Amino acid sequence: MTATRDCDILIVGAGFSGLIMAIEARKRGFRDIVILEKAQDVGGTWRENTYPGVACDVPSHLYSMASHPNPEWSTVYAGGPEIWAYMQKVARDEGLYELCEFGQTLASARWGGQHWQVETEEGQSWRARVLVSGIGALHIPLVPEIPGADSFPGPAFHSARWDHDLDLAGKRVAVVGTGASAVQFVPEIAKTAARVTVFQRTAPYVLPRPDGPVKPWLRRLYRVLPLTRRIRRALFFHIFELRHAVFMGRPRAVDFAMKMWRKELERSITDPALQAALTPPYRIGCKRILSSNDWYPALARDNVEVIQSGVERIDGANLTAQNGQSIEADVVIWGTGFHVTDALERLEITGEGGLPLAKAWESGLQAHLGTAVAGFPNLFFLLGPHTGLGHNSVVLMIEAQVAHVVRLLDKMQSDGIAAVAPRPEAQAAFETEMDDRLSSTVWQSGGCVSWYQDDTGRNPTLWPGTVREYQARMAKAGIGDYRPVSTA
Ligand SMILES: Cc1cc2nc3c(=O)[nH]c(=O)nc-3n(C[C@H](O)[C@H](O)[C@H](O)COP(=O)(O)OP(=O)(O)OC[C@H]3O[C@@H](n4cnc5c(N)ncnc54)[C@H](O)[C@@H]3O)c2cc1C
């Protein structure tokens, strides 16, 4: 254990959240900032997910920082390596690498009355006035516990831990899961694998997207005339905001999305039995709507087979599905997503009066405006509860949260307030509103179980409104939502 070091703002995580927080805090004049990052580089999601075909599912001009527009995106939906390189460049240009303590994993944080006392698993100790969590929601791979999994003789890995030393050409690959990652990597591996067997518990809705290379002349235009780039971003923003209507069950929007999906399915899949197998048994939008131009064509290939069931057990190289079908495989790839709602609960954080965060959240994740928790002074969660989206870029949500936090910190400084925590009644009203509004959405009543929900079926993950509404709410919320906390 090293000696305790001091800083003003301690940020945990160097993904989009942590980087945007550091950039905006510095703009406001806060200089004493440290970023703890458990890995060895910035990038978060885009450093961790390197599987073939990894890409964003909202256009890159929208899925990037407003403060750091990038005229050079090579495709409409940039691939993971390009997004990661963009984040590294932003971090280099802004001098953020100097703020980073890499290889440091937040182990615990305790409010000591004036400061947060933070310990890392690797033995660092920090004292900070403000603690900001930018740890993300999709970074702890979820691998289901399947009887006999240990007996599988070949390589088996999660999509977020891709084994790049393994050549899948000529191999029989079993893919478990049909979520956002599988939809991207299955079309890629199917090009060379001898056989790909996809275990699908529930079919997703997969819609086409207007992807493709951005022509060099257009990139030059974005470089030379920044207004054109801003117009493109604004255009994408408004188009993606319109998608919100699908989740609200507006008939015309739902019809439009359903027609688009059906056309895409029927264009690639001619076998009625396979069409039926790929038809989701729930309302569109209940689970995340996925986007790909390659998924259905990949499933139509001769070397790809879909088993309409999860894996029940593994005996050596044999995988047996719940419906009794059995196959032999050389490699297993878990496309089974991440621990989402329980990832935040795992944090060992102790607030005022020794209150553990796990206790404060025993009846479910909650945070005022998805950002701060009553009883936990000067602690802010970026992409906290109720800030996820089904229809637009979450970078916009992070930016709205960060703008709110830095404005609050600024105001505290000018008013001579050392610490604040949200008023419990403000937080309770926000949570009641969230639960009420979400209960009538397709996410809660569309006939599916999804990773948006916790063990009780509550949805603490998503923001029910448009991004524009959240931006307006965050811009309006001020110090009145918080109570000063005595640090005497
Ligand atoms: C494959 C994939 C594709 C996606 N595509 C999109 C998309 O197209 N559009 C969209 O809006 N969203 C997308 N998302 C969601 C994506 O996670 C967010 O867009 C965004 O990357 C979140 O940024 P973040 O900084 O909050 O979290 P992350 O990117 O997850 O970064 C969190 C960082 O915190 C670090 N960390 C975690 N725990 C600790 C700890 N205890 N101590 C120290 N460091 C820690 C991690 O190592 C990581 O670097 C995608 C997610 C995945 C997995």
- Domains of the chain are 5-42+96-140+339-484 (3.50.50.60), 149-204+243-334 (3.50.50.60)
Q: Determine the pLDDT at residue 137.
A: 80
Number of C-beta neighbours around residue 123 at 10 A: 10
Distance CA 176, CA 179 (A): 9
> Which atom of ligand 1 approaches the CA of 347 most closely?
41
Q: Residue-wise over 70-100: b if at least 16 C-beta within 10 A, else e?
A: bbbbeebbbbbebbbbbbbebbeebebeebb
CA nearest ligand 1 atom 49, residue: 44
Distance from the alpha carbon of residue 416 to the mean position of ligand 1, in angstroms = 34
> Which atom of ligand 1 approaches the CA of 77 most closely?
8
> Which atom of ligand 1 approaches the CA of 392 most closely?
11
- Residues 6 or more apart whose Cβ sits within 8 Å of residue 376: 111, 349, 351, 352, 355, 357, 360, 421
Of 344, 350, 352, residue with least CA distance to 419? 352
Distance CA 478, CA 466 (A): 20
> Which atom of ligand 1 approaches the CA of 338 most closely?
53
Tokens 């709507």 label which residue?
289
Distance from the Cα of residue 111 to its chain's centroid: 27
> Is residue 122 within 8 Å of 105, Cβ to Cβ?
yes
pTM for the complete prediction?
0.96
In this prediction, the residues of the chain whose per-residue pLDDT falls under 50 are: none
Distance from the alpha carbon of residue 71 to the mean position of ligand 1, in angstroms = 23
CB burial of residue 316 (10 Å; 0-12, 13-18, 19+): exposed
CA nearest ligand 1 atom 19, residue: 394
Tokens 């390009």 label which residue?
82
* H helical segments located in 391-488: 394-415, 424-439, 442-445, 467-476
> Which atom of ligand 1 approaches the CA of 184 most closely?
1
Distance from the alpha carbon of residue 341 to the mean position of ligand 1, in angstroms = 14
Distance from the alpha carbon of residue 388 to the mean position of ligand 1, in angstroms = 12
Q: Determine the pLDDT at residue 346.
A: 75
CA nearest ligand 1 atom 4, residue: 56
Q: What are 110-149's pLDDT values in tens digits?
A: 999 999 999 999 999 999 999 999 999 888 899 999 999 9
> Which atom of ligand 1 approaches the CA of 36 most closely?
43
Q: What are 197-247's pLDDT values in tens digits?
A: 999 999 999 999 999 999 999 999 999 999 999 999 999 999 999 999 999
Pocket probe for ligand 1: among 36, 41, 45, the residue whose CB has the most ligand atoms within 8 Å is 45
User: 275: which 2 tokens?
Assistant: 């069409």
Distance from the alpha carbon of residue 207 to the mean position of ligand 1, in angstroms = 23
> Is residue 41 within 8 Å of 15, Cβ to Cβ?
no
Distance from the alpha carbon of residue 339 to the mean position of ligand 1, in angstroms = 12
Distance CA 356, CA 339 (A): 20
Distance from the alpha carbon of residue 272 to the mean position of ligand 1, in angstroms = 38
CA distances from 376 to 385, 423, 424 (A): 15, 11, 11
Average pLDDT of the chain is 95
Distance from the alpha carbon of residue 114 to the mean position of ligand 1, in angstroms = 30
User: 157: which 2 tokens?
Assistant: 């890995």
CA nearest ligand 1 atom 22, residue: 136
Q: Determine the pLDDT at residue 451.
A: 86
> Which atom of ligand 1 approaches the CA of 105 most closely?
42
Distance from the alpha carbon of residue 231 to the mean position of ligand 1, in angstroms = 27
Query: What's the distance, Cα to Cα, between the start and end of the chain in Å?
Result: 28
CA nearest ligand 1 atom 26, residue: 136
Distance from the alpha carbon of residue 198 to the mean position of ligand 1, in angstroms = 26
Of 15, 41, 10, 47, residue with least CA distance to 137? 15
List pocket residues of ligand 1, CB cut-off 6 Å: 12-18, 36-39, 44-45, 49, 54, 56-58, 63, 105-106, 134-136, 138-139, 181, 382-383, 393-394
Pocket probe for ligand 1: among 56, 105, 135, 159, the residue whose CB has the most ligand atoms within 8 Å is 135
* Cα dihedral 454/457/460/464 (nearest 10): 150
Q: Determine the pLDDT at residue 488.
A: 74
Q: Determine the pLDDT at residue 388.
A: 95
> Is residue 91 within 8 Å of 68, Cβ to Cβ?
no
Q: Which DSSP helix (H) or strand (E) runs through 234?
A: helix 226-242
Distance CA 378, CA 398 (A): 17
Q: What are φ and ψ of residue 170, in 5° steps?
A: 75, 0
Distance CA 422, CA 339 (A): 27
